[in-house]
Chain A
Amino acid sequence: KAGVTQTPRYLIKTRGQQVTLSCSPISGHRSVSWYQQTPGQGLQFLFEYFSETQRNKGNFPGRFSGRQFSNSRSEMNVSTLELGDSALYLCASSVGQSYNEQFFGPGTRLTVL
């Protein structure tokens, strides 16, 4: 069974640009959660999608948004990038809601210059 895949793995952008990250969950998993990981703040929850609906949202500005498609694949978008958005963005999938065991992808390393 294939694991969670994320694309791209690495990305370099400049301030003010926008970026879209993609996550394909494990087959059969309906929940996808997104996290931001930085050395200073550690892992922080961004949002969770379940059956194409956002179920939970963390404390991030509106520049961070996401969506989930009918095949459970999810995208995360960050608009008007800031230097502080440089981070490892991880997605995790689970069968049901996020309180079930989550399986993480390898992450997308975003660098904002």
Chain B
Amino acid sequence: TQLLEQSPQFLSIQEGENLTVYCNSSSVFSSLQWYRQEPGEGPVLLVTVVTGGEVKKLKRLTFQFGDARKDSSLHITAAQPGDTGLYLCAGGYPDFGNEKLTFGTGTRLTIIP
């Protein structure tokens, strides 16, 4: 069973602050996705990273894929209340046919106005 750990599990910060959340595995990913999920809704895809060392930016969000493709981070600059939600990372593993996504337990982010 592939394990994908996310940290922290919960994060509550003031509007305007910066934050970083982490996603780690002992196995190599073929690709990794970050999703955001609102209560009662399905996950919404934010970004896909596939190359070791890759950095992608989405407005105030910066995603980084580790050189060894075993870990990833999401950095949010100047957090806003609209960033509140559950952030999930999900990996595809080549040894498992790459079809199913294995999800972490998520980081529940609350931005306080």
Please determine whether chains A and B interact with each other in the same assembly.
Answer: no
Which residues of A line the B interface, CB within 8 A?
Answer: none
Which residues of B line the A interface, CB within 8 A?
Answer: none
